[in-house]
Amino acid sequence: MQIEPTELPDVIILTPRRFGDDRGWFTETWNAGTMAQAGLDLPWVQDNHSMSAVVGTVRGLHFQAPPRAQDKLVRCSRGAILDVAVDVRVGSPHFGRWVGVELTPENGRQLLVPKGFLHGFVTRAPMTEVQYKCTDVYAPDCDGAVRWDDPDIGIVWGLSGAPVLSAKDQAAPLLRDFKSPFVWGQA
């Protein structure tokens, strides 16, 4: 497993090794023992799988607040996405900054988005499928979002037209109106 840092500390790219032959390839997307040796001892409890039919579908920027905050390990198993993490930990020197990583089945990359970060993605191919692991189960009373096109964050989504959005994402507040439940340096 290759582990790469991003511009935001704690957000990392994991690229599993692939073992190929004339049938195709095999990869371990997560191995608890190997990852614990690398300092990533995460208790995955829920796996999610989404499909977005249309190019330019934006999902995010989402979070789940304490006490049900979630770390996420995101991968794209069909199509292509720009996967985005935004630091919203109060007191962080990187508060409001974002990082985006292209995830595709071909590059095999996964993005680890820790607690304290907003998460979102935009589809770059039709019929895109995204799978991600979470360290806590979905809790509707802890679910929240920040506006995907917040000018203070300034994410460059690479859209060529209007995005496809959920009602929740259309109504999400701006970062300046968001009281973050996350504090830098606290688990």
Instruction: Tell which residue, 33, 50, 52, has the closest CA to residue 41.
Output: 33
Q: How far apart are CA 102 and CA 113, in angstroms?
A: 14
Pick the catalytic residue: 49, 62, 94, 138? Answer: 62
CA torsion angle 139 7 27 76 (round to 10):
60
Q: How far apart are CA 43 and CA 134, in angstroms?
A: 8
Tokens of 80: 């292509």
Phi and psi, residue 98, nearest 5°: -130, 160
In DSSP terms, which residues pair with 58 in a beta bridge? 122
Tokens of 183: 């504090």
Pick the catalytic residue: 49, 94, 132, 138? Answer: 132
CA torsion angle 161 117 95 37 (round to 10):
-130
Q: Is 119 a catalytic residue?
A: no
In the three-class reduction of DSSP (H, G, I as helix; E, B as strand; rest coil), residue 145 is classed as strand
Q: Is 62 a catalytic residue?
A: yes
Q: Which residue has the tokens 């006490």?
A: 67
Annotated catalytic residues are 62, 132
